[in-house]
Amino acid sequence: MSTVVEAPQMQSPVPAVSEPAAVVSQPIKKKSLGRAFWVAVIWLGIVTFCALLGPWLPFVKSGDDATDFLAGALVTDGKWLETFSRHHWLGVDSSGNDWFSLLILSARNSLIIAGATGVIGFTVGGILGMVAGYRRGRLDAIVSFAITVLLSMPPLLFIILLVSVLSAGGDGSGVEQGLSTTVWKLSLSLGILSVPILFRVVRGSTISFANREFVLASRTLGAKTGRVLFREILPNVAKPMLAYGLVAAGNVMVIEGALSYLGLGVGDTWAWGKMIQSGASLREMRISPHIIIVPALTLFFTVLSLNFVGDKIRERLEVKEGNL
């Protein structure tokens, strides 16, 4: 009997499949804020400290001690450099007022105006923006139209008109009696001017958060509109509001300086804008240039710091929002 031998079957070679390389997750590195950011924060901290505690600082002169008529006479003669001493760190003006002490004391009014303007703008513009952005519909259309009409007016002309009306004398004699406006009148006027811009910022942020999962979940559980706005949306909207508020505070300080130059500033009190205005004449700039240079540089660095810190915070918030 013959034996049948089966030929071995050739197995087709199976191509080797390489295993996928393991994906190594690297932590996202946070971009450093930079040294310039912290320098700006330190500068703002110093300004705030001087504004809060200025009258009680030992090196700040007030009352009769703040006036040196002999040094003022030197300024009138054009010898303003000779007024710089250990008694007058930044010299004096032609009236003998210690310019360093006025610079410290003026910081309070400048920051009060900027802070009060922000409170008014955030309160009115923030509430209107959240309600309009959340409810939408006819309410949003009406409020947005009113804000658009307000924005269509020239800002500087509008603020001059508003300050003049608020500062008008009560005896019927006209605006001429009341151009010496007080800090609160200026703050109220600038606060009204800031409402439209802050309304748009808050409204846009509210619209972006209105349909998020946590808002929809809160509404599904039966939360009322007020609770949704102030418990769910406000904590998220407050972050861009803070970033923009710092930039807006710097703009308010610049506007206050412009109004002081036009004679619509803080009246009998002192602020940085009024200090600049007091040295704005050609004669003052010629015989004592430090009178305008010192407050102008202080205002410049403060506004620059506010804008820089606000922009950095806004960039950091945008990065976090993009990673969600």
Per-residue pLDDT of the chain (324 residues; tens, 9 = 90+): 445 545 445 454 544 544 444 444 444 455 677 788 899 999 999 999 988 888 888 878 776 666 777 777 777 777 777 777 777 778 788 777 888 888 888 888 888 888 888 888 888 988 999 999 888 888 889 999 999 888 888 877 877 787 777 766 544 443 333 334 577 888 888 888 888 888 988 898 888 888 888 888 888 888 888 888 888 888 888 877 888 888 888 888 888 877 877 777 776 778 888 888 877 765 667 777 878 888 889 999 999 999 899 888 878 776 555 555
1 contact partners, CB below 8 Å, separation of at least 6: none
What's the pLDDT at 177? Answer: 38
117 contact partners, CB below 8 Å, separation of at least 6: 187, 190, 191, 194, 248, 249, 252
CA-based nearest residue to 37, from 323, 320, 316? 316
CA-based nearest residue to 254, from 269, 242, 271? 271
Specify whether the CB–CB gap between 279 and 285 falls below 8 A: yes
Calculate the CA 60 to chain-centre distance: 27
What's the pLDDT at 21? Answer: 47
Q: Answer positive or negative: Cα dihedral of 83, 111, 181, 184.
A: negative
What's the pLDDT at 174? Answer: 37
What's the pLDDT at 300? Answer: 92
Coil, strand or helix at 266: coil
φ/ψ bin of 93: left (φ > 0), alpha (ψ from -120 to 50), beta (otherwise): beta
Tokens read off for 219 = 């509404």
Rounded (10°) CA dihedral 109, 110, 115, 118: 130
CA-based nearest residue to 75, from 288, 322, 278, 305? 288
In angstroms, what CA-CA distances link 263 with 74, 93, 164, 180?
27, 19, 10, 8
Alpha carbon distance 160, 100 (integer Å): 30
What's the pLDDT at 304? Answer: 92
What's the pLDDT at 49? Answer: 92
What's the pLDDT at 171? Answer: 45
Burial 267-299 (b: 16+ CB within 10 A, else e): beebbbbbbbbbbeeeebeebbebbbebbbebb
What's the pLDDT at 121? Answer: 86
**Measured at the alpha carbon of residue 290, what is the angle toward residues 284 and 291, in degrees to the nearest 5?**
55
